[in-house]
Amino acid sequence: MNLLELDGVHVVHRIGSAKLFGRAEVFALTDASLVVDPGETVGVVGESGCGKSTLAKVMVGLQKPTRGTVRYHGDSLWELPAAQRARMFGRDVGMVFQDSSTALNRRLAVHRIIRDPLDVHDEGTAAERDERVRELMSLVGLPRSVADAVPGQLSGGQRQRVAIARALALRPSLLVADEPTSALDVSVRAQILNLLLDLRDALGLAMVFVSHDIQTVRKMSDRIVTMYLGRIAEEAPAADIPDRARHPYTRALFSATPSLLHVAEPIVLSGPVPSATAPPSGCNFRTRCPKAAADCATGLPPLEGENGHTYRCLHPEVPEGARKTGVSTP
């Protein structure tokens, strides 16, 4: 059974006021279907505003889908009673956010922050909780000397270690990390990424790793999902990305880093990213796609592909030819 399954999930935000300038709809996530299996790492990558954080929030139950189903261990989460849903998410899914300086309660000492989920879920005796906090601090490489410090007294890297310890307190099966290193100094990033990899292996965690840094996503992930303007463009085993990528957006994203995708010239996308309030009809990438044709404007491209490598594109790249010549012609 899948650990987590998203089936046709849409998230639409209604913004504005009917009295002032009128209401608008923001299509933050459109028809997202995705499975996370026990023990695997799924990397989610895409430009700013493409819906990565929305997808992460849906996965941890912080965002209710406007439409579609989220199943955890086969149970449809939003059909469960609220208390049961909260218990399930609280216990079995941990989340680490981008900016630990705002995600952690700045008035609480480190040991209280890490202990909080144990208290909320009434886990063990007081002595067992204290012991678990000591164990978690050691697991994430925090010295005992910072147990009484408040977040403001810690370095950015130490704060992120506290956030990771708290997320792991209840021994979750899944850790969702949303840009966990983008607020950190470059020198500290590798340490936190290595820590996440070590913890994943030691604890057998499934992990969803969200980032706009494609190099990092590629290093961390078993499978990679590329997102564009609220939609999943392509999903593939990490070994297929970028060389065997079929969606032009995936290739464009990776061609910006020549060490990852060798093309004669980077594929420069034309025009701005359209607004999420008025995404283009048909394939929403067509207004910037080097391979766009007239048929891309009508209807959502069907999901194509096999063996865990799927994409939505009517004119996909042909990997062999593409590897030799860059972007192939439509």
Ligand X SMILES: Nc1ncnc2c1ncn2[C@@H]1O[C@H](COP(=O)(O)OP(=O)(O)OP(=O)(O)O)[C@@H](O)[C@H]1O
Residues of this chain that interact with ligand X (CB under 6 A) are 13, 15, 26, 28, 46, 48-54, 212, 276
Q: How far is the CB of 327 from ligand X (least distance, A)?
A: 24
Q: How far is the CB of 29 from ligand X (least distance, A)?
A: 7
Name the residue nearer to ligand X (CB basis): 27 or 311.
27
Q: How far is the CB of 227 from ligand X (least distance, A)?
A: 7
Which residues have C-beta within 8 Å of that of residue 34, sequence separation ≥ 6? 5, 6, 42, 55, 225, 232, 235
CA angle at residue 155 from 150 to 156, to 5 degrees? 105
Name the residue nearer to ligand X (CB basis): 16 or 204.
16
Distance CA 84, CA 322 (A): 49
Q: How far is the CB of 48 from ligand X (least distance, A)?
A: 3
The one-letter code for the residue type at 238 is A
Distance CA 169, CA 293 (A): 51
Name the residue nearer to ligand X (CB basis): 26 or 195.
26
Name the residue nearer to ligand X (CB basis): 32 or 245.
32
Burial class (CB in 10 A: 0-12, 13-18, 19+), 90: middle
Q: Are strands 93-96 and 304-306 parallel, antiparallel or unpaired?
A: unpaired
Q: How far is the CB of 175 from ligand X (least distance, A)?
A: 17
Name the residue nearer to ligand X (CB basis): 30 or 328.
30
Task: Report H helices in 38-155.
Answer: 52-59, 82-92, 100-103, 110-120, 126-139
